[in-house]
Amino acid sequence: MKKTTLLLTLPWLLFAGYSAHISPITPAVKSRMLRGHSWHQGCPVPLSNLRYLTMTYRGFDGREHTGEMIVHANVAKEVTQIFGELYRSGYPIHRMRLVSNYGGDDFASIEADNTSAFNCRAVTGGSKWSKHALGTAIDINPIENPYISHSGHIAHRKSLMYRKRAHIGSHPRSVMLRGDTIVRAFKRRGWRWGGDWHSIKDYQHFDKPGAHRGGQPHTPKAHKTRHLNPSPFIKRPPGRPVSTIQHINRPFSYVVKSGDTVYAIEKKFGVSCEEIKSLNSEITDCSDIKIGQRIRLSK
């Protein structure tokens, strides 16, 4: 008897113009993720635990668009529900594409004001896996909702006007403030908002702690194959916990070039501001690093 393999997907969700679709990672999407350096062997979540979403959103142009996003299977359904609420409330989103479209480069994705989720990368300025590498974090309208370091530094020039939090700019509703519909929609479902953090502020960021656990296959150990991402990459040594992840291919030193930002250097080489200061005694404030200055990046 002939066997037929049926690809199961969750049904379309319809909310007065809003539609969303959830499906497993298809070979075509996997190919995009590999070519776009957003996933590689050794990432903390296997592709079988991820889901590809398409969702309707209201653009900055006032029109309806279909966006795409990859998240962990455990949060996929509620993410489509949240974005359904945002659509109905009229919350505008500039762009929603996979970070693979930007070579897995978080900095480039932010520069494009791209709303995205899964990206197999380290936390900003650290060596542990980011919640984005687990598929349980989402960044929304990152230019209007910037990451601000504990020293007050903002890496993206277009975000500087949004340091003071208010509904301002050409698309004021895109600026997220405490109590806004978008923040409440996430918090009701147990997500954290980076705008509530104290030492730093990450207004674009939402994540759901522990959502990747529960009934999912074990994460495979890292293969020896290198991830050819031009952005920083991390490798999990077999049998060692995530907390011992080490950056590889970090040069001994680097000469700061025109257009560089502290954030870009941190992301490119997987080195935090605190590490830079510890390796360069003459640097007491990372925001004072100058073009042409040679800085040590490793011991």
Residue ranges covered by each domain of the chain:
10-207, 250-296
Tokens linked to 226: 């290198």
> For residue 104, what pLDDT is reported?
93
Both tokens of residue 232? Answer: 């920083």
pLDDT confidence of residue 221: 37
Does the pTM surpass 0.85? The reply is no
Provide the pLDDT for residue 250: 63
What pLDDT does residue 125 have?
Answer: 67
The confidence score (pLDDT) of residue 145 equals 98
pLDDT value of position 33? 97
User: Rounded to whole angstroms, how far apart are CA atoms 220 and 239?
Assistant: 10
Q: Where are the beta strands (DSSP E) in the chain?
A: 10-15, 18-24, 50-58, 64-72, 137-139, 147-148, 192-193, 201-202, 205-207, 234-235, 246-247, 253-255, 294-296
What pLDDT does 213 receive? 85
Residue type, 288: D
State residue 248's pLDDT score: 40
Give residue 219's pLDDT.
34
Counting as low any pLDDT under 50, the low residues of the chain are 1-16, 215-248
Single-letter amino acid, residue 7:
L
Question: pLDDT tens digit string along 255-276?
Answer: 888 767 776 787 677 777 878 8
Domain 250-296: homologous superfamily in CATH:
LysM domain (3.10.350.10)
Outline where DSSP puts E strands in 18-163: 18-24, 50-58, 64-72, 137-139, 147-148
pLDDT at position 254 is: 83
